[in-house]
Chain A
């Protein structure tokens, strides 16, 4: 019997090594695997490279991971932004390395990793400061730059419903980075709001097939926090 579910967040995160690249899904706290992020803080791995849409906001979640000095490098599309207080503080004293990426380039670099594509050309950022040091090439009269695949050692994902094979269904805009990160990492760890029986999830609604998922923990986290 295939059963990817584990009993606790600690068990789900066991074995994450110092120096790992960790893909953390979610967009503005919606579909964000908050229990797994908190668990990673407890787990203790250091020297991490974190890939997340922002460099953290407020003092919780990714911001706290950075604040505790556990992130060597952050890869994101929003570095300084509303509420990025902890990142700014750590960055100002040289305590963290930053790689800033256009949001679509970030997603596509992970998609490439998931699909076995080592690198690809894109028009995004061609002719801008972000293209400095990158190979460029002209196709059909337009300039493109070379971007490399961005695989993770670990992905942290939040699903709405999951079965024991790791098939995942997402809720509303909670899908965001979850499917691409789930597919782009060697070890994909999922927290799910609800567990379903095998065969219960409608196959046409499964957005992440279980093949990408390694560990599954049931966390009834409830709705994302209310925005003001």
Chain B
């Protein structure tokens, strides 16, 4: 039987906007590379959220106009950024002390895989990768109060990314608290994955077909 598609996945911007909706005023937030970086574009400026960048910035603002670039002001993804009023600079050691000391309310990261126990794999697709790029992901995953992952629900070949156990090398154990995909928002609970939102028209059965680990409705 051919499945009738009556639902529409979110595109990258809509996914970033969906996540941004859930960030309350007052939080201090670090955004990882990729779709996580887009999230900043969808937090309205009147909502006071303090963005952190690992290279020593608190209170980061959006990208500057091309003629207003300050070559000394980049974020951890090497992109030009601006400061919001109230911003401050710090050294790398202070910046990571802030991360590792649990002072960030939220870090949004991309991922290859997330397991139902909250394990995160986002730095290597194989145990044989002997010259990887880790950056600050392990510090952020272990240190922030909450880790929200934003990623595509499945790999390009259709494999599940929401698993019973990760098969790729771990970034941190049991750290992920919520996952946003183009299809659904899923909490990681002591009992496993719980679906708290789905795109209109999608059924839990269709979502489960695309997911390795069991999904519950809250």
Measured CB to CB, the nearest residue on chain B to A177 is: B92
Total interface residues on B, CB under 8 Å, equals: 43
Instruction: Please tell me if the beta carbons of A79 and B133 are within 8 angstroms of each other in the complex.
Output: yes
Instruction: Please tell me if the beta carbons of A124 and B142 are within 8 angstroms of each other in the complex.
Output: yes
B residues 138-194 near A (Cβ < 8 Å) are 138-139, 142-143, 169-173
Instruction: Please tell me if the beta carbons of A78 and B134 are within 8 angstroms of each other in the complex.
Output: yes
Question: B131 near A: Cβ within 8 Å?
Answer: yes
Contacts A98-B130, A107-B92, A226-B71: A123 and B100 contacting too (C-beta < 8 A)? yes
Instruction: Please tell me if the beta carbons of A28 and B78 are within 8 angstroms of each other in the complex.
Output: yes
* Range, interface on chain A: 35 or more
Complex alpha-carbon distance, A125 and B54, angstroms: 17
Complex alpha-carbon distance, A111 and B131, angstroms: 25
Measured CB to CB, the nearest residue on chain A to B69 is: A226
Complex alpha-carbon distance, A124 and B78, angstroms: 23
User: Measured between C-beta atoms, what is the minimum distance from A121 to chain B in Å?
Assistant: 11
User: Measured between C-beta atoms, what is the minimum distance from B45 to chain A in Å?
Assistant: 21
Question: B56 near A: Cβ within 8 Å?
Answer: yes
**In terms of DSSP, what is the predominant structure of the interface of chain B?**
loop
Instruction: Please tell me if the beta carbons of A172 and B73 are within 8 angstroms of each other in the complex.
Output: yes
Question: B135 near A: Cβ within 8 Å?
Answer: yes
| A175 contact from B56, B79, B131, Cβ within 8 A | B56
Question: B8 near A: Cβ within 8 Å?
Answer: no
Instruction: Please tell me if the beta carbons of B91 and A178 are within 8 angstroms of each other in the complex.
Output: yes
A residues 140-188 near B (Cβ < 8 Å) are 170-180
Instruction: Please tell me if the beta carbons of B80 and A173 are within 8 angstroms of each other in the complex.
Output: no
Question: A130 near B: Cβ within 8 Å?
Answer: yes
Nearest 5 interchain pairs by C-beta: A104-B96, A104-B139, A172-B72, A102-B138, A127-B173
| CB<8 Å pairs between A and B, sample of 29 | A27-B55, A30-B71, A78-B134, A80-B132, A88-B131, A100-B132, A102-B135, A102-B136, A103-B136, A103-B139, A104-B138, A105-B138, A107-B92, A108-B93, A110-B93, A124-B138, A128-B170, A128-B173, A130-B134, A172-B70, A173-B74, A173-B89, A175-B89, A175-B91, A177-B92, A180-B91, A223-B72, A227-B71, A227-B74
